[in-house]
Amino acid sequence: MDLRGRNLLRVTDLTRDEFLHLVDVAALLREEKRAGHRQNRLSGLNVALIFEKSSTRTRSAFEVAAHDEGAHVTYLGPGDAHLGRKESIRDTARVLGRMFDGIEYRGSSQDAVEILGANAGVPVWNGLTDAWHPTQMLADVLTMRDHSSKPLGQVSCCYLGDGADASSLLVTAALLGFDLRICAPGTLPPSPGVEAMAQTLAGRSGARLTVTTDIAIAAAGADFVYTDIWLRTTAPPEVWDERVSQLRSYTVNADVMCATGNRNVKFMHPLPSLHDTQTDIGRQIYQRYGLDALEVTNDVFESSASVVFDQAENRLHTIKAVMVETLRRQP
């Protein structure tokens, strides 16, 4: 499998085999790191990390992965580069491509990462846009593989929350052929374009895709219950009211976990999560709505079923796999 020079801008940039290859490589790199072996496969390479939005996991994963393999990173945080303000994204891509061997981009705009990818001449990786989060999907699939004895094609996953926020998961399930039930309020369905794309992919992979408003239907027999943050941290409190009123029946709680009927069911969340009042926003939510959790209750988040921190750690190993495989030198 040769991924040298490739971009990762959206989930569909990978074939099923390429996706699973990266997950396999990540598992090997994880073993290697845990055994204390270092290979310096990216020695002497330079990587730019463009973050137009904040990040804990994605930034840390890129930085640690690069350092583990001997590469250097330059962090360009919100407002650090002229990007799109005083210099076009296309010009920025052509400049950074002359200096760096790979570029990570996080920001709202999928167009921005696509323009970087088309013009940099070096691999560009999407570290989250409003449309796609492909590196998260690699970590999620590695985590599912770690926590299920079933072949991926027999795994079932129940997603609760805003259907439009599940685009990457929907297309990943469709690409890899697992059973995904999206359970969302009727007012927050998956994007029709993404659902159509997923159904086409599912026709080839055998994935079973369900979109429902009914938690009992979505949860029955699930191996994984998955949710995502309801409130983007940049959203002002005025937009919270509508989100909370639309989504409040879709909190993952003990009843939802029980509705799976699966004693081994696992809980997944890409994080960050508003599951208690230990954050500024969590406290504001409690004062505004009397809710001490949003998308998942604290008892589920802290339960033995929760694999969220394995999922977070797997961001490191999978992002390292992406960099190693796309930046790999000729043997």
Length of the chain: 331
CB of 269 to ligand CP, least distance (A): 9
Q: Closest CB to ligand CP among 124 and 259?
A: 124
With binding defined as CB under 6 A, does residue 108 bind ligand CP? Answer: no
CB of 129 to ligand CP, least distance (A): 11
Judging by beta carbons within 10 Å of its beta carbon (0-12, 13-18, 19+), is residue 65 exposed, middle or buried? Answer: buried
List the Cα angle 129/240/85 in 5-degree steps.
40
Binding string, residues 47-86; x marks residues near ligand CP by CB under 6 A:
--------xxxx----------------------------
Q: Closest CB to ligand CP among 136 and 306?
A: 136
Six-digit token pair at 137?
């999907």
Determine contact, residues 227/269, Cβ cutoff 8 Å.
Answer: yes
Residue 171 and residue 15: Cα distance in Å, rounded? Answer: 11
Determine contact, residues 162/188, Cβ cutoff 8 Å.
Answer: yes
CB of 229 to ligand CP, least distance (A): 9
Torsion of CA 102, 125, 114, 165, to 10 degrees: -160
CB of 67 to ligand CP, least distance (A): 17
Where is 106: in which H helix or E strand?
Answer: strand 102-106
With binding defined as CB under 6 A, does residue 126 bind ligand CP? Answer: no
Determine contact, residues 266/306, Cβ cutoff 8 Å.
Answer: yes
Nearest alpha carbon to residue 76 among 109, 48, 107:
48
Q: Closest CB to ligand CP among 119 and 129?
A: 129
Binding string, residues 200-239; x marks residues near ligand CP by CB under 6 A:
----------------------------------------
Q: Closest CB to ligand CP among 58 and 318?
A: 58
Site for ligand CP in 129-148 (CB under 6 A): 136
Site for ligand CP in 262-291 (CB under 6 A): 270-271
- What SS3 class is residue 306? strand
Other CB atoms closer than 10 Å to residue 299's CB: what's the count? Answer: 13
Give the amino acid at 124: V
Q: Residues in contact with ligand CP, total (CB under 6 A)? A: 8
Give the amino acid at 278: Q
CB of 141 to ligand CP, least distance (A): 14
Determine contact, residues 135/145, Cβ cutoff 8 Å.
Answer: no
With binding defined as CB under 6 A, does residue 314 bind ligand CP? Answer: no
Q: Closest CB to ligand CP among 117 and 270?
A: 270
Determine contact, residues 257/305, Cβ cutoff 8 Å.
Answer: yes
CB of 95 to ligand CP, least distance (A): 25
Q: Closest CB to ligand CP among 159 and 259?
A: 159
Tell me which residues touch ligand CP (CB under 6 A): 55-58, 128, 136, 270-271
